[in-house]
Amino acid sequence: MTYDNNNIFAKILRGEVPCKEVYRDDHVLAFNDINPLAPTHILVIPTGKYVSIDDFGKNASPAEIKAFYAAIDKIVEDKGLKTKGFRCIANTGPNGGQEVPHFHMHILGGCPIGPMVSTAL
Ligand code: AMP
């Protein structure tokens, strides 16, 4: 999949669309999800142009990958999610329910998040 420069997270990164910023460094931006599904629902995105988790893992630099997971660690620590736990979700592609084609990790916490998946199986 080629990267779409007009996706909503690209616009947030360029400052064309506002967000409720939680964390930022050279490689990472994190902000509150506009439609929260838990008391804490934060999206963590690389500043680089990666469409999906597999694109990111294959093509991002070690520094970008390290910064991404370090940011998640800092956010869950700062938000007090470590003791009771949290869930990270990276929806990928049509079957994964990915709506925005810029790689993002959802962090959900602050309550029991419920069953892992809902499927027709
Ligand atoms: P996904 O279905 O994994 O692609 O998730 C996309 C997420 O982006 C959804 O949870 C949306 O609520 C969220 N979202 C869409 N637009 C915005 C926005 N402008 N600011 C914050 N979150 C957004």
> Mean per-residue pLDDT for 106-113?
98
CA of residue 32 to ligand 1 center, whole Å: 9
Supply the DSSP symbol for 57: H
In angstroms, the CA 44 to CA 19 distance is 12
Does residue 85 surpass a pLDDT of 70?
yes
33 Cα–ligand 1 center, Å:
6
| Contact assessment for residue 33 and residue 9, using Cβ atoms and an 8 Å cutoff | no
Paired tokens of 58: 């294959």
Res 119 pLDDT > 80: no
CB 89 less than 6 A from any atom of ligand 1: no
Higher pLDDT, 119 or 102: 102
pLDDT tens for each residue of 17-66:
999 999 999 999 999 999 999 999 999 999 999 999 999 999 999 999 99
What count of Cα atoms within 13 Å lies in the side-chain half-sphere of residue 41?
11
- Mean pLDDT rounded to a whole number for the chain: 97
Task: Assess whether 104 carries a catalytic annotation.
Answer: yes
12 pLDDT above the threshold of 80: yes
